[in-house]
Amino acid sequence: MKYLVGRRSVARSLTFALAVAAVGSFCGLASAADPKIRIFSGTDEHWVPMQVAKAKGFFSAEGLDAEVTVFTTGAAATEAFRAGRGDFISAGDLPSAAMWNAGAVIGLAPMSSDTEIFGIVGKKDISSPKDLRGRKVATAIGSTGEFLLYRYLASGGVAPSEVNIVGLAPPEMVISLVRGDIDAFAWLAPFTTRAIETA
């Protein structure tokens, strides 16, 4: 699940409106005092509604000057958001839950739900969690991908400490696997499918 999250401490009054566009959900945020809003998102298809809303002028139609900044992962966007550089962020389950737990933000709306998109791609001799013991496995640290990697390892009785987990951006995961720099990576399509096609 991806969520739209907003900062509690934003100093201006915001009204949230949800509209449905042909390509999916679009979230418009209105402010009478200051129309400038900064929205952070990732690059894959789950974050397309923000980019479509900007390109189609939906934010402008609500009187907003929206700046949409795209990051390589939701985890990277979350780091920038936590540093106070954004007003809203579309982030995955784990980063959103961590921010909600801290109490500085609120969830505004679910953006997408997917149960089949995450996967673990590895060398041909890897077919179960136990095959990852002592191996180098990449994911985006602090992301839902990291959480799901831990769940996968736990399903086979493997502790994260038994695996050499490294943080990489999704494009680097594919290249590193093909070059043999890592043994596997945990992320989502289209990066998983690209790695399978390339290997």
CATH of the domain at 49: 3.40.190.10
pLDDT at 150 over 80: yes
Q: Based on the domain organization, do 93 and 61 belong to the same domain?
A: yes
pTM above 0.75, yes or no: no
Sign of CA dihedral 167, 160, 196, 192: negative
Mean pLDDT of 144-152: 88
127 and 88 co-located in one domain: no
Q: Are residues 107 and 123 in the same domain?
A: no
What is the number of structural domains in the chain? 2
Residues 19 and 68 in one domain: yes
Of 61, 78, 112, the residue that ends a domain is: 112
Predicted pLDDT of residue 199: 60
- 92 is in which domain, residue-wise? 2-112
> In terms of domains, do 125 and 62 share one?
no
Instruction: Point out the least confidently predicted range of 51-55, 115-119, 170-174, 185-189.
Output: 115-119
Domain limit, last residue, from 85, 112, 139: 112
Q: Are residues 173 and 187 in the same domain?
A: yes
Write out the H or E segment, with its range, that includes residue 60. Answer: helix 58-61
Helix or strand run (H / E) with residue 166: strand 164-167
Domain finish residue from 72, 88, 112: 112
> What would the mean pLDDT of 186-197 be, rounded to a whole number?
72
Give percent helix, percent strand, percent coil of the chain, each to the nearest 5: 35, 30, 35
Asked whether residue 138 falls in the same domain as residue 180, the answer is yes
Name the pairing type of β-strands 65-70 and 36-41.
parallel
Query: Sorting pLDDT into bands at 50, 70 and 90, what band is 65?
Result: confident
